[in-house]
C-alpha cells in the first residue's frame, strides 16, 4: 500500500496539479478517502463534494469545467475532420470523372439489352 497522505501533502499535490483552479478554504479534512468540499474558482456556483483521492486522480471534479473541456475537444475533432474532407471543387471534379467513366461503358454489355 502507498504511504498515507495527510492534508498538507494533499494540498501540495492539488496546488501542483491544478494551480489556482480550486479553493480548499472550506475543506474539513478527515482522511484521504473521505469526501471534502472544494470550490472551483472559474465556476463558484456550488461546492464540489469529492474525495481527495478522486480529486487528484480525475480532472478535478467541476462538472462545468468538464463540460467546457468536452465541448472544446469535440470542436477540435470536428475542425480536424472538416479539414480532411474534400472541398466542393474537388467533389465536383470527382463526380464529373465518374460520370465520364459511366458514359464510356459499352451499351451492348448492359442488362437491358440482353432482355
Map out the domains of the chain as residue ranges.
Answer: 7-86
What pLDDT was estimated at residue 89?
61
What pLDDT was estimated at residue 105?
59
Q: What is the mean pLDDT of the chain?
A: 81
Whether 23 contacts 38, CB under 8 Å: yes
Average pLDDT on 74-98 reads 72
- Indicate yes or no: pTM above 0.75: no
The H-or-E segment that residue 3 falls in is none
The H-or-E segment that residue 36 falls in is strand 36-40
Amino acid at each position: 500500500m502507498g504511504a498515507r497522505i495527510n492534508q498538507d501533502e494533499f494540498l501540495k499535490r492539488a496546488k501542483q496539479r491544478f494551480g489556482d483552479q480550486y479553493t480548499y478554504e472550506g475543506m474539513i479534512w478527515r482522511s484521504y478517502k473521505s469526501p471534502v468540499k472544494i470550490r472551483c474558482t472559474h465556476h463558484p456556483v456550488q461546492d464540489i463534494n469529492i474525495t481527495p483521492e478522486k480529486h487528484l486522480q480525475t480532472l478535478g471534479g467541476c462538472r462545468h469545467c468538464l463540460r467546457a473541456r468536452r465541448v472544446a475537444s469535440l470542436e477540435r475533432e470536428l475542425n480536424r475532420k472538416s479539414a480532411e474532407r474534400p472541398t466542393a471543387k474537388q467533389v465536383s471534379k470527382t463526380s464529373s470523372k465518374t460520370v465520364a467513366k459511366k458514359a464510356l461503358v459499352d451499351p451492348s454489355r448492359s442488362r437491358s439489352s440482353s432482355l
